[in-house]
Amino acid sequence: MTPEQIRALVRTIPDHPKPGILFRDVTTLLLHAEGFAAAIDHLAASVPGRPDLVAGMEARGFVVATALALRLGAGLLLVRKDGKLPGETIAEDYALEYGTDRLTMHVDACTPGATVLLADDLIATGGTALAAARLVRRAGGEIVGARFLIDLPDLGGAEKLKADGIDTHSLLPFEGH
């Protein structure tokens, strides 16, 4: 499937979570086996080499990261919301499009020197991905890139990641927010 065919599988929900927002819903893409597989194939083809780990951010990022990790032959690193992981964690606060939040990961989830690819369903302002990158770097990992199904370029997140030295690629840009 082409990116445009995959794009047609993403549902847009107007005025969610608040008036004026066009919510790009990937759940309709995930329901389509051929489309989801093709989207992951396209993302995997854009990754040079093989990272040690693919880091997925809660929650839809887990789905994308798991599929990419399997396709790339990499391990899976879960980056969770605060309070969800047992054991010792490190945390990073970050700004969301609609507020603030905190991400955590286990202190031993990423060994020093591990190469890590970030993965999520969507990049908007970049706050979540940058917080995940800071966590990985604090653990001694090396961010080798970031991959997203959807980019909302009007919100500038991908550009922020690139300015931070992160190779960033998204399959489907959607103008507007």
Q: Which residues are catalytic?
A: 60, 97
User: The tokens of 31 are what?
Assistant: 């329901």
Asked whether the beta carbons of 72 and 117 are under 8 A apart, the reply is yes
CB-count burial class (<10 Å; 0-12, 13-18, 19+) for 146: buried
Rounded CA-CA distance 49/44 in Å is 10
Rounded CA-CA distance 117/52 in Å is 8
Give me the residues paired with residue 77 across strands: 55
